[in-house]
Amino acid sequence: MSSRFSFWDVIEAGRKDKKEFLRILMEMTEQELVDFYWKHAEAQAELHEAGMADHMDMPVTDDAMTMMAEWIVDQGADYYDRVFDNMSVIPRRAPYESRVDFRGQAGTVYRRRFGESIRYPDEPPPPSVSKPKS
């Protein structure tokens, strides 16, 4: 992520104030939105790789693991780090009632601003993103 927006600071802003979170997303450049979205996905994948499923009620579906990983990331850096230190702090089931879906909101803002689904990091920006003049 850019030096303007720390990933975990943006998550924390969202936890404190949804309007502020959305304001930050609207202020981000196209590249910053892409970086935020995929950094969130990367943080979720790290939880999967760390064995998160072993600490959830069975049977664990891919959807359940994704929802739990998303929820953990959305709780902020302190909770995320605590989970890596001790996976037993993971709730047995995802608390869906407190789901905020920051990654999904970033995707929605991207679609609204640029007219298409968020791109993969290795893809070029959409034509709707104006190029800086040389």
Q: Which domain holds residue 14?
A: 7-114
Confidence of residue 36 (pLDDT cuts 50, 70, 90): very high
| Whole-number Å distance between alpha carbons of 132 and 126 | 14
| Whole-number Å distance between alpha carbons of 47 and 45 | 5
pLDDT at 4 > cutoff 90: no
pLDDT at position 134: 43
Would residue 25 count as lying in a domain?
yes
pLDDT at 58 > cutoff 70: no
pLDDT at 93 > cutoff 80: no
Q: What is the pTM of this model?
A: 0.89
Segment holding 71, helix H or strand E: helix 62-74
pLDDT at position 14: 94
Would residue 108 count as lying in a domain?
yes
Confidence of residue 118 (pLDDT cuts 50, 70, 90): very high
pLDDT at position 3: 61
Angle between helices 62-74 and 102-114 in degrees, nearest 10: 90
Contacts of 5 (CB under 8 A, 6+ apart): 24, 28, 32, 36
pLDDT at position 2: 52
Average pLDDT for residues 23-46, to the nearest whole number? 96
Would residue 123 count as lying in a domain?
no
pLDDT at 133 > cutoff 50: no
Place of tokens 């693991």: 65
Angle between helices 7-16 and 18-27 in degrees, nearest 10: 140
Average pLDDT for residues 26-36, to the nearest whole number? 96
pLDDT at position 65: 85
Would you give the DSSP letter of residue 89? G
Could you give the 3-state DSSP secondary structure of residue 22? Answer: helix
Average pLDDT for residues 6-12, to the nearest whole number? 96
Would residue 97 count as lying in a domain?
yes
Give the total number of structural domains in the chain. Answer: 1
